[in-house]
């Protein structure tokens, strides 16, 4: 199976309007057991069109001076995705937290993934089930590979870490076929104790929401498929009014 793995570093701010300072993209073959064999890569820095937030520089280490002479991301990056697609790597787009971040930026630049695998979803399920301290990319990588994430927040190192997660995640959850794992990883699962990460409910467990908040949230569109499944399960458990008809929750990572 041909796939691409992508990761952005930005100038700071939300995915719908942030400038980009780095994109790393790997194209390759994903084997039955989740082993990724790299066949092509693009890794470049870009001018974000705005000043880099100092707080963001402290994360990825890139300054305005580092990218001053780089091409503008809005003109340069679309060609990268076109080349990846021409090489056939656009059948499945993989990332870590990409459904709510990297895919959003890519869509702004003309690339809308067809099928999406967000490995932050099974990583969070692993955290919830095994009590890991963190479901971050670096922590999950260290847990599954035993290696320190020494280059975390460099986009190239992040895509390489993402590729390395697949066999370990499959093994932890008892999968021997990558197609079955992808089906499971892209279907929402209710997770007891799942906490919200946005709005006035930030930090609250789904089960602790009052009925009015639950009614508001269960009708929201979200690409966080496990959160949606958890909200829906709690809504139905409480016997609240039947849910209104809703469109497909998670199709091609666009919701």
pLDDT-derived band at 244 (thresholds 50, 70, 90) equals low
**pLDDT, position 98:** 95
**Which has more confidence, 223 or 250?**
223
* Average pLDDT of span 97-117: 95
pLDDT higher than threshold 70 for residue 254: no
What are the structural domains of the chain? 2-185 (3.30.420.10), 188-255 (no CATH)
Show Cβ contacts of residue 245 under 8 Å, excluding neighbours closer than 6 positions: none
d(CA 49, CA 58): 19
pLDDT-derived band at 248 (thresholds 50, 70, 90) equals very low
Show Cβ contacts of residue 109 under 8 Å, excluding neighbours closer than 6 positions: 73, 74, 77, 78, 81
pTM of the model: 0.88
* Average pLDDT of span 100-110: 96
73 HSE (CA, 13 A, CB side): 26
- The two counts, helices (H) then strands (E), for the chain are 10, 5
Q: Per mean pLDDT, which range of 61-75, 104-118, 122-136 is the poorest?
A: 122-136
Percent pLDDT > 90 in the chain is: 84
What are 112-170's pLDDT values in tens digits? 998 999 999 999 999 988 878 888 999 999 999 999 999 989 999 999 999 999 999 99
**pLDDT, position 128:** 87
Give DSSP secondary structure letters for 10-33.
Answer: ESSS-TTT--EEEEEEEEEEE-TT
Tell me the pLDDT of the chain averaged across its residues.
93
């Amino acid at each position: 199976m041909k796939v691409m793995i992508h990761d952005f570093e930005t100038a700071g701010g939300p995915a719908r309007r942030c400038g980009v300072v780095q994109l790393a993209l790997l194209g390759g073959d994903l084997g039955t057991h989740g082993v990724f064999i790299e066949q092509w890569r693009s890794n470049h820095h870009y001018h974000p069109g705005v000043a880099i937030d100092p707080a963001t520089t402290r994360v990825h280490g890139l300054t305005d001076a580092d990218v001053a002479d780089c091409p503008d991301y809005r003109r340069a990056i679309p060609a990268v995705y076109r080349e990846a697609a021409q090489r056939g790597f656009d059948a499945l787009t993989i990332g870590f937290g990409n459904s709510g971040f990297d895919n959003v930026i890519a869509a702004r630049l003309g690339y809308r993934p067809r099928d999406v695998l967000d490995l932050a979803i099974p990583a969070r399920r692993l955290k919830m089930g095994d009590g890991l301290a963190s479901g971050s990319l670096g922590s999950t990588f260290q847990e599954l590979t035993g290696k320190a994430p020494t280059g975390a927040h460099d986009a190239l190192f992040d895509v390489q870490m993402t590729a390395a997660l697949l066999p370990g995640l499959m093994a932890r959850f008892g999968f021997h076929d990558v197609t079955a794992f992808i089906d499971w990883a892209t279907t929402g699962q209710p997770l007891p104790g799942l906490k919200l990460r946005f709005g006035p409910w930030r930090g609250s467990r789904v089960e602790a929401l009052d009925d009015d908040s639950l009614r508001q949230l269960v009708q929201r569109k979200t690409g966080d498929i496990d959160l949606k499944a958890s909200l829906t399960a709690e809504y139905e458990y409480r016997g609240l009014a039947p849910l209104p008809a809703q469109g497909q929750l998670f199709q091609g990572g666009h919701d």
